[in-house]
Structure 1
């Protein structure tokens, strides 16, 4: 862990809270800082990493939706309600 970098746990939590705030029709919390706390360099690196998991034939298509690639990567981990 590099002391000058945000922890992966903090980044993931921030992204999940932002997704919940933006994507849930009735969010349990309103976290306007979720997206703001992620530095652009980290966001770009995460998008690139998420794109690597996409089939090569669809990468260009998916890359066009760069704002949604992180949401799609985080969505399966959200289990806010029963």
Structure 2
């Protein structure tokens, strides 16, 4: 059920910026601002590998994805809006 949810949220029309880790090329200062990065592909691996076994852990990592995006991207930006909508 957890994996099914992760797969379904990655199909949302605004999920594309969160599907893979942010690269240094895309955002050179990202790791200076976001100390605990998370994305849907990493989350899926954690679910498949058994590191996430309950809804609370899944929600925690989902919130991390969206909170990171809202921390890094200014309010009103597309990424901030996408993250706050998905959250």
Q: State TM-score, norm by structure 1.
A: 0.29
Structure with the higher helix share, 1 or 2: 1
